Amino acid sequence: MEKELHEQYEYARKRIKQKKGLYFHSVLFLLGSLFLFIAHKFLNIGIETNWCIWVITVWFFLFILHFIKVYITDRFMNKDWEREQIDRLVALQQKKITQLESQINEESAT
């Protein structure tokens, strides 16, 4: 029972750390985008091109990937999912072994 409780605690701690990182990334993205926009429009840095739009777009794409990792993939592909996949693969291997053993027994009987 204590092992389960420890695993639950570790999972919760890991998820909180992931969410905290995502929240930090979102604040950094908003402030960084604002700074880049202000630098481009009002300080006339690189006024010939809209470089800040490209940088913000790429950064937003990276933020979306971070969001997907935290709230979609890591949420559904956790320890329970890993255990289910391992159990499923072990069961398939056992089934193949049983089939091979029965084939060998049939061949040796004939």
Q: Residues 7, 53: one domain?
A: yes
Full domain range(s) for residue 52: 2-77
pTM for the structure as a whole? 0.66
Q: Residues 40, 71: one domain?
A: yes
CA pair distance 36, 29, nearest whole angstrom: 10
Each residue's pLDDT expressed in tens, for the chain with a length of 110 residues: 687 788 888 888 988 999 999 999 999 999 999 998 888 888 776 667 788 888 999 999 999 999 999 988 877 777 777 888 888 999 999 999 999 888 888 888 76
Q: Residues 62, 13: one domain?
A: yes
Q: Residues 55, 84: one domain?
A: no
25 and 66 in contact (C-beta within 8 Å)?
yes
pLDDT of residue 49: 76
Q: Residues 24, 73: one domain?
A: yes
Domains identified in the chain, total number: 2
pLDDT of residue 47: 65
